[in-house]
Amino acid sequence: LIEAYLQTQEPWDKAGAYAIQGLAASFVKRIEGSYTAVVGLPLSETRDMLEIAGIETGVSGSHV
């Protein structure tokens, strides 16, 4: 399975050679914490930081 994955072009332009939203998701058993942080930008945490800084995002916690 790993050899087949390496034959695709997917791993070669990724930090750590995988993207959780791509083919490599089949290798991941579980994620602890924020899925969006694994993808690249922790949306919930970013929203929280913006709102603490006084920037209204208009997005509630359940929509991130």
The pLDDT score that the predictor gives to residue 63 is 61
Cα dihedral 47, 60, 52, 46 in deg (nearest 10): -10
pLDDT tens, 9-51?
899 988 888 889 989 999 999 999 888 888 889 998 999 999 9
Q: Where do the structural domains in the chain lie, given as residue ranges?
A: 1-53
Residue 54 has pLDDT above 90, yes or no: yes
- Residue 57: both structure tokens together: 């995002």
pTM of the shown model:
0.60
